Amino acid sequence: MAENVKPRVRVPRSAAAGEAFEIKSLISHIMESGRRKDSDGNTIPRSIINTFTCDFNGENVITAELHGAISTNPYFQFEATIEEAGTFTFTWLDDDGSVYTDSKDIALA
């Protein structure tokens, strides 16, 4: 199990309808690539976040598939627009089966 995994997201408190705004997300994660060896020469098994998704009121905004070459603490920054107030939910899927989530409400300005 990856240790000390902590998601963080930043979403503005409000936004005008149809106007693009920025969302930032970051999760602390070792992102063990599966290609390193330990001091005894044994391969350290891969343990990464393999999928990141962001949904708004149940509708998918972005889905990203992550692979072995992504560095530690993967960071995503993207833009979104809304037509109504609601909730962004963020999900990170770990190779080890863990699911990490976070959510943020946003109002219409």
Partner 1 sequence: MKKITTLCAAISALALSTGFAIAEADAPVLSIDGVVIATRAPAPEYLDIDEVISGWVFRTVETQALQMDDFDNPGMIFVDQALDDWNEVNGSEGKSCASCHTGGPEEFAGLRTVLPRWNEDAGAVWTMEDYINNSLVEHMGAEPWKVGKAQMNAMVALISLQSRGMPMNVAIDGPAAETWALGEEIYFTRVGQLDMACANCHIDNYGVMIRADHLSQGQSNGFPAYRLKNAKLNGIQSRFSGCMKNIRATPYAVGGPEFTALELYVASRGNGLSVEGPSVRN
- Footprint on this chain of partner 1 (rule: CB under 8 A): 4, 6, 8, 10, 24, 26, 28, 71-73, 75
Of 7 and 86, CB closest to partner 1: 7
Q: How far is the CB of 103 from partner 1 (least distance, A)?
A: 17
Asked whether 24 and 104 are in contact (CB, 8 A), the reply is no
Of 5 and 57, CB closest to partner 1: 5
Asked whether 57 and 84 are in contact (CB, 8 A), the reply is yes
Cα dihedral 23, 3, 49, 88, rounded to 10, equals -30
Q: How far apart are CA 91 and CA 109, in angstroms?
A: 26
Of 8 and 35, CB closest to partner 1: 8
Q: How far is the CB of 43 from partner 1 (least distance, A)?
A: 21
